[in-house]
Amino acid sequence: MKIKWLLNLTLCLGMSAVLSPMLAADKTVELPEKEKFHIYLLIGQSNMAGRGKVDPATNKAHPRVLKLDKAGNWVPATDPLHFDKPKIAGVGPGSGFGPVIAEASPEVTIGLIPAAVGGTPLSRWVKGGDLYERAVKLAKENQKKGVIKGAIWHQGEGDSSKPELYNSYQKRLAGMIADLRTDLGEPEMPFVMGELGEFFTREGAPT
């Protein structure tokens, strides 16, 4: 009986050691005052959502960088930030962006709203599209808690297959940016866009 009790205790302690870091990463935290909580929207497709491999040894949250989790709680920003496709979600641009901004502004806490979804076209991100409306909803809900300081955008591959899509991309994106600023009441909100680096095709031609 005593041996069985010891085995159960050992198993519980072992499970606790394994789960503790995971639970800590998902623990809701106390937010600073509104003016000291700077929030950024992470929007776009898979290049923003992140597909890089997560290294458990270095997957530590910056003490002043939080993320909005799937349940709508602010928790420490460990990877993956996004949850669009749980089986393949990984490290993305937001993982480096948050800590850099936090170090540049030591008096504030940074909040990241991960709203990117892999494989999505711009049509879902313009006003009226489901992903645009979802991102605006998340941002507005959290304007009560912090200040929206900017949006980070990485998307485009989903609109690269047809001339009518990529030829109109700039105009459609400009419209989306204007609508986003208007809907969030932030007419001067910074909007940062990422792009893929140039590379050569198999035929040796530059992209």
In a domain, 50, yes or no: yes
In a domain, 35, yes or no: yes
Asked if pLDDT for residue 19 goes beyond 50, the answer is: no
Asked if pLDDT for residue 114 goes beyond 60, the answer is: yes
In a domain, 26, yes or no: no
How would residue 12 be classed by pLDDT, with cut points 50, 70 and 90?
Answer: very low
Higher pLDDT, 154 or 89: 154
Query: What per-residue confidence (pLDDT) applies to 87?
Result: 86
Mean pLDDT score, 185-199: 87
Give me the number of domains the chain comprises: 1
How would residue 35 be classed by pLDDT, with cut points 50, 70 and 90?
Answer: very high
How would residue 156 be classed by pLDDT, with cut points 50, 70 and 90?
Answer: confident
**CATH number, domain at 99?**
3.40.50.1110
In a domain, 153, yes or no: yes
In a domain, 114, yes or no: yes
Query: What per-residue confidence (pLDDT) applies to 202?
Result: 66
Asked if pLDDT for residue 15 goes beyond 60, the answer is: no
Asked if pLDDT for residue 92 goes beyond 80, the answer is: yes
Residue 43: beta bridge partners?
153
In a domain, 103, yes or no: yes
In a domain, 10, yes or no: no
Query: What per-residue confidence (pLDDT) applies to 23?
Result: 38
Range of the domain at 186: 31-193
In a domain, 20, yes or no: no
